[in-house]
């Protein structure tokens, strides 16, 4: 009860002091508040971007390794072909399936861009010739109609499945299934429409693609004997580095590439596409953490300087309190409590503003909600440490004032 009474008494005194020194108190609170705001905002947004990246990896396909013909360099969220090659064959895909462990599914693919026509409308799009297991491997679903059957694959039927956006561009609200589109000069029957998927981690808009059997793309549309992509689904994520290494060794051997010679293919995984983005996120998070730490330090210095000023201006008050029986520990406790109340108020304001700011960012940029109670608690802990650290010296200075010297100034 005595302790509670003292805390209530000291709190009343502190409120009075805050009213007398409004500007100084507000500046001290804002210093801590900005540090808390920066910490919560930067960490939460960084975690949200990481979660969005994880979701985009799932869009790309589960445990997927992609072999591209030619040399490909990854720049941020897109891949760019540096050289092209015609050396990747269906037999390479079969060899990967037969000779490499931990491989679940292998899908050879041929992609080509052609003008697509319907009436007076012409749109350039990417046609992907690939097997019927593609939707399962790439984690996408058919929204209308169906995907092509194995029989249609084997016979090279002129059937196509449209991406969501392509279907909208050509047919609008009209039913597309059963209609015909001209791919270059080849009439192809629409048998399905894929669900809306958006852009995957490689930067490719999956809603603007057109799918057709591999044999149809290679023989009827392009008349080629090579492919340009192999999709390899691995049994478990942990095996991806092993499978990538084995694919490189196997294809170098099959393509007769000697040691020291450049490869005519590129082996990629979602992690390769995300590497640059992760580096950017790491820098963003690091800079945010540094700015938060600097803000806490500045806030601590602000509390320290203002508390010292307050001590100098309250020497008479301290002398009177000591003369009527206040102990050094009472003065010490009061000033430490003052600095911690400043830090606490700053952390509350910073947490509220930081959380509101994050919610606005998440809403307008369609980011996952990743506000962390853990980091809010960490910010309060840092505020407490800052308040104690900044208040120790002024508190000891106030407690060390001798009553006789203080009373001489009255």
370-390 confidence digits (pLDDT tens): 777 787 888 888 888 888 888
Higher pLDDT, 407 or 328: 328
Higher pLDDT, 332 or 279: 332
Between 154-158, 160-164, 254-258, 336-340, the lowest mean confidence (pLDDT) is in 336-340
Copy the structure tokens of residue 362. Answer: 């998440």
Residues 6+ apart with CB under 8 A from 313: none
Cα-flanking dihedrals φ and ψ of residue 163, to 5°?
A: -70, 160
- Measure the CA–CA gap between 335 and 283, rounded to whole angstroms: 39
Tell me the pLDDT band of 83, cut-offs 50, 70 and 90: low
Tell me the pLDDT band of 410, cut-offs 50, 70 and 90: low
Tell me the pLDDT band of 80, cut-offs 50, 70 and 90: low
Length of the chain: 410
Mean pLDDT, the chain, rounded, equals 81
Residue-wise pLDDT tens digits, 8-36: 766 776 677 677 767 777 777 887 888 78
Residue-wise pLDDT tens digits, 90-119: 999 999 999 999 999 999 999 988 899 988
Residue-wise pLDDT tens digits, 260-312: 888 888 888 877 766 655 665 666 667 667 777 777 777 777 777 777 877 77
- Measure the CA–CA gap between 318 and 59, rounded to whole angstroms: 67
* CB hemisphere CA count around 131 (13 angstroms): 15
Q: Pick from 214, 370, 184, 222: which is nearest to 285 by CA? A: 370
pLDDT, residue 2, reads 59
């Amino acid at each position: 009860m005595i302790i509670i009474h003292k805390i209530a008494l000291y709190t009343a005194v502190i409120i009075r002091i805050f009213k007398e020194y409004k500007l100084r108190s507000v500046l001290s609170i804002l210093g801590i508040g900005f540090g808390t705001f920066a910490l919560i905002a930067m960490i939460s947004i960084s975690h949200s971007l990481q979660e969005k990246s994880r979701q985009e990896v799932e869009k790309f396909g589960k445990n997927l390794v992609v072999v591209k013909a030619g040399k490909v360099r990854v720049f941020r969220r897109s891949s760019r072909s540096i050289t092209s090659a015609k050396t990747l064959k269906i037999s390479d895909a079969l060899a990967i399936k037969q000779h490499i462990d931990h491989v679940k599914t292998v899908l050879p693919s041929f992609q080509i861009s052609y003008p697509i026509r319907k009436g007076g409308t012409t749109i350039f799009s990417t046609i992907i010739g690939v097997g019927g297991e593609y939707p399962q491997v790439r984690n996408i679903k058919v929204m209308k109609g169906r995907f092509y059957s194995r029989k249609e694959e084997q016979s090279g039927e002129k059937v196509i499945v449209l991406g969501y956006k392509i279907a909208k561009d050509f047919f609008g609200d009209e039913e597309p299934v059963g209609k015909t589109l001209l791919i270059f000069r080849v009439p192809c029957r629409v048998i399905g429409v894929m669900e809306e998927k958006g852009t995957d981690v490689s930067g490719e808009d999956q809603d603007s693609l057109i799918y057709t059997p591999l044999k149809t793309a290679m023989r009827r549309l392009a008349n080629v004997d090579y492919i340009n992509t192999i999709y390899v689904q691995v049994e478990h994520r942990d095996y991806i580095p092993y499978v990538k290494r084995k694919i490189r060794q196997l294809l170098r051997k099959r393509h007769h590439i000697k040691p020291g010679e450049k490869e005519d293919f590129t082996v990629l995984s979602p992690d390769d596409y995300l590497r640059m983005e992760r580096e950017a996120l790491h820098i963003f998070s690091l800079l945010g953490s540094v700015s938060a730490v600097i803000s806490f330090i500045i806030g601590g210095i602000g509390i320290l300087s203002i508390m010292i000023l307050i001590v100098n201006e309250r020497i008479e008050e301290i002398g009177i309190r000591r003369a009527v029986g206040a102990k050094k520990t009472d003065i010490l406790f009061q000033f430490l409590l003052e600095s911690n109340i400043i830090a606490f108020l700053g952390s509350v304001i910073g947490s509220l503003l930081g959380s509101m700011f994050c919610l606005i960012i998440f809403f307008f940029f369609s980011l996952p909600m990743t506000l962390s109670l853990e980091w809010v608690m960490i910010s309060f802990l840092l505020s407490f440490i800052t308040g104690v650290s900044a208040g120790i010296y002024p508190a000891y200075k106030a407690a060390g004032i001798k009553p006789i010297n203080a009373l001489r100034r009255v």
